[in-house]
Amino acid sequence: MDEIPDSHPRAESLRIRHKIIHGMEHNVVAKAGLIAHGRGEAFDYLLGEETTLPAKKAIKAAAAALLLSKYPVISVNGNSAVLTPHEIVELAEVSGAKIEANIFYRSPERLEAIKKVLEEAGAKEVLGVGETANGEIPEISSVRRVVDTRGILIADTVLVPIEDGDRTQALRKIGKTVIAVDLNPLSRTSQLANITIVDNHVRCMPLLVEEVKKLKNTPKEELKKILKNYDNKKVLGEVLKLIRDRLKEIAEKGSTIT
Ligand code: ATP
Ligand code: MG
């Protein structure tokens, strides 16, 4: 990979893009993962490429939900594996969540490749690969329904970064609490999840790890209060208003270049 100079105005975005391309070249990321990433980038542009206040509210609620769960699972696809392998492992450790490799375009080789990336980052157990990956979500057709009988199938809460709407809907239908990380506040995933963190997965994961650490010794009643006061529809509305106001300001100024 060519070195991207720090002085490049889009250095960080380009570095992330290279991680996704590298992941595809090593059969961790699916081809469609490249397109999904591009869609995410476009929304990140609209958000100003920073973690917004509504995203911070969602991160706090997500941390509370993970800590209150009896059996939380982090669902990992190719994109999230190559973007934040260490943060996924750390989040699992601090929240007591299981890690499950679970992908839209299912192939044993790619599941193994994802598992390897996570193990190299320190994961001791990666579900979704091998013989226990034979559970089924009844609401979804074909191979996309396969989940691990020790993972998502028996989970009460599932964290789904960069996920498709059909699967989010199916997880809700079978009673899971769904926490999504999705840059598009209008996607079906964002609209259907219980808690939607509208932020770049790369920025949100370290913050989520920190928030779980911060809330870890908080009494359950306090955590429940955080969840009770959280309103996902309202928070998504706040994200849209933020984009609207930002675009209005730019439109009036006539340029994004300062
Ligand atoms: P949906 O099926 O939920 O309506 P979609 O069909 O538009 O969404 P998918 O490809 O199914 O899109 O899902 C991928 C989602 O992940 C997209 O909404 C995209 O914006 C988002 N996304 C991509 N990269 C990132 C990232 N790095 N961080 C957060 N979200 C991302
Ligand atoms: Mg989709």
What count of other Cβ atoms lies within 10 Å of the Cβ of residue 64? 25
| Residues having CB within 6 Å of any atom of ligand 1 | 36-37, 39-40, 43, 79, 162, 164-165, 181-184, 187-189, 200-202
Say what the pTM is. Answer: 0.96
- Ligand 1 atom 1: residue of nearest CA: 165
For residue 183, report the distance from its CA to the centre of ligand 1, in Å: 7
- Say if residue 5's pLDDT is above 90: no
Name the burial class of residue 188, with classes exposed (0-12), middle (13-18) and buried (19+) by CB atoms within 10 angstroms of its CB.
middle
Distance, in Å, from the CA atom of 196 to the CA atom of 210, rounded to the nearest integer, reads 18
- Which ligand lies nearest the alpha carbon of 184? 1
- How far apart are the C-alpha atoms of 195 and 186, rounded to whole Å? 14
The set of long-range contacts for 226-231, using a CB threshold of 8 Å and a minimum separation of 24, is 226/60, 226/61, 226/64, 227/61, 227/64, 227/65, 227/68, 230/57, 230/58, 230/60, 230/61, 230/64, 230/195
Structure confidence by residue, pLDDT tens digits, 158-191:
999 999 999 999 999 999 999 999 999 999 999 9
Note the CATH architecture for domain 53-239. Answer: 3-Layer(aba) Sandwich (3.40)
Q: Say what the pLDDT of residue 9 is.
A: 80
Would the pLDDT of 229 be above 70? yes
CA quadruple 147, 150, 156, 160: dihedral positive or negative?
negative
Contact between 90 and 63 under an 8 Å Cβ cutoff? The reply is: no
Give residue 208's pLDDT. Answer: 98
For 67-105, the DSSP string reads: HH-SSEEEEE-HHHHHH-HHHHHHHHHHHT-EEEE--SS
- If DSSP codes are grouped into helix, strand and coil, which group holds residue 195? strand
pLDDT for the residue 258: 67
For residue 18, pLDDT over 90 is answered with yes
Q: Enumerate the domain spans of the chain.
A: 53-239
Q: Is the pLDDT of residue 7 over 90?
A: no
Ligand 2 centroid – CA 241 distance (Å): 24
Percent of the chain beyond pLDDT 90? 84
Taking residues 6-26, what's their average pLDDT?
A: 92
Per-residue pLDDT, 145: 85
- For 47-103, write each residue's pLDDT tens digit: 999 999 999 999 999 999 999 999 999 999 999 999 999 999 999 999 999 999 999
pLDDT of res. 142: 65
Q: Which of 7-11, 25-29, 45-49, 215-219 has the lowest mean pLDDT?
A: 7-11
